[in-house]
């Protein structure tokens, strides 16, 4: 029996109200940016703080739950002695080419050479800012990790020389050294060109250790999947959720939560702590780079959630749980 998110040519979102913004809307948004105030101009911001992190404490950690924000959607998660990278990108641009496209605004918070041994790399979807092939090839050469990705991504990843790749459908699970990885639904889309939209599957991950659980949200709009995931796994210790790339709402709302929706998702997931990501690294949208965290703080206040449950790491910062 065909699963409801599968189609003859790929995959779809389950929200009946999902709005698909194609090339025409992309051109409308991009052309409109030139006629209004751009989100970032040279000199608009002082450099954002980056915490020096040489990785020594992380390389020595073999048991405690930690999350380190490297930048954008790239985090290092350590749980039960397993070292996991989420959507790793160390490249200076998230683009098909190295000389053009969105440029890094802040440097990575941890150098590739300072990483601990990487066991697992999880990829939420195949967009260039989440599946960065140069970074994946470097990780393969040094660590030979297992790469997890949604259905349809294996040929791309094997094609660049990754040796251990496993594709997953929503709710599929993989276990590594006692830690279970479940590929969970999101509301987004895929595509690395103009003709491959929706051909590969996008998603998020529930990382289930012996006693602690972590959720990594990837990219997503707000929908009922957060509540479903929270109920299925009876909450999480930490939820790593996107709070950036959300303006303009007419264009972004279907596929990118804004900070208020991200906090609602955190509540739906029944998580103890929220670590924001997907901001302050690449300029991909129209909101001010320094706006997401204050908006998330306001949403915590509006929902009467304890302020210390929001953990806005600085790039390079690690938090032990």
Model confidence, pTM: 0.95
The whole-angstrom separation of Cα 293 and Cα 4 is: 35
Beta-bridge partner residues of 93: 103
Could you list the beta-strand ranges (E) of the chain: 66-71, 74-79, 82-86, 120-122, 146-150, 165-168, 173-176, 179-184, 204-208, 213-216, 236-242, 271-277, 318-320
The whole-angstrom separation of Cα 173 and Cα 104 is: 33
Q: How would you write the pLDDT of the chain (321 residues) with one tens digit per residue?
A: 689 999 999 999 999 999 887 767 666 766 666 555 555 554 455 568 899 999 999 999 999 999 999 999 999 999 999 999 999 999 999 988 877 788 898 999 999 999 999 999 999 999 999 999 999 999 999 999 999 999 999 999 999 999 999 999 999 999 999 999 999 999 999 999 988 999 999 999 999 999 999 999 999 999 999 999 999 999 999 999 999 999 999 989 999 999 999 999 999 999 999 999 999 999 888 888 889 999 999 999 999 999 999 999 999 999 999
Exposed, middle or buried, 29 (CB in 10 Å: 0-12/13-18/19+)? Answer: middle
The whole-angstrom separation of Cα 264 and Cα 253 is: 14
Query: Are the beta carbons of 45 and 289 closer than 8 angstroms?
Result: yes
């Amino acid at each position: 029996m065909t699963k409801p998110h599968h189609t003859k040519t790929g995959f779809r979102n389950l929200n009946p109200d999902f709005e698909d913004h194609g090339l025409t809307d992309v051109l409308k948004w991009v052309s409109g940016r030139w006629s209004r105030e751009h989100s970032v101009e040279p000199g608009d911001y002082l450099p954002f703080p980056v915490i020096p992190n040489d990785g020594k404490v992380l390389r020595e950690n073999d048991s405690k739950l930690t999350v380190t924000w490297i930048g954008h959607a790239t985090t290092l998660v350590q749980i039960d002695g397993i070292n996991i990278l989420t959507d790793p990108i160390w490249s200076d641009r998230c683009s098909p080419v190295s000389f053009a496209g969105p440029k890094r605004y802040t440097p990575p918070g941890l150098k590739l050479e300072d990483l601990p041994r990487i066991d697992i790399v999880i990829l939420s979807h195949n967009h260039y800012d989440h599946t960065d092939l140069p970074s994946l090839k470097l990780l393969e050469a040094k660590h030979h990790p297992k790469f997890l990705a949604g259905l349809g991504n294996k040929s791309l990843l094997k094609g660049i020389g990754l040796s251990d790749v496993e594709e997953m459908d929503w709710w599929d699970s993989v276990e590594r050294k006692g830690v279970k990885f479940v590929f969970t639904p999101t509301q987004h889309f895929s595509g690395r060109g103009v003709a491959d939209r929706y051909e590969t599957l996008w998603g998020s991950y529930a990382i289930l250790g012996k006693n602690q659980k972590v959720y990594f949200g990837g990219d997503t709009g707000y929908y009922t999947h957060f509540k479903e995931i929270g109920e299925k796994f009876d909450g999480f210790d930490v939820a790593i959720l996107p709070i950036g790339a959300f303006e303009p709402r007419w264009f972004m709302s279907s596929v990118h939560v804004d900070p208020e929706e991200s906090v609602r998702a955190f509540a739906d997931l029944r998580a103890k702590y929220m670590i924001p990501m997907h901001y302050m690294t690449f300029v991909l949208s129209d909101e001010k780079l320094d706006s997401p965290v204050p908006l998330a703080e306001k949403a915590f206040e509006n929902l009467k959630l304890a302020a210390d449950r929001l953990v806005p790491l600085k790039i390079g910062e690690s938090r032990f749980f």
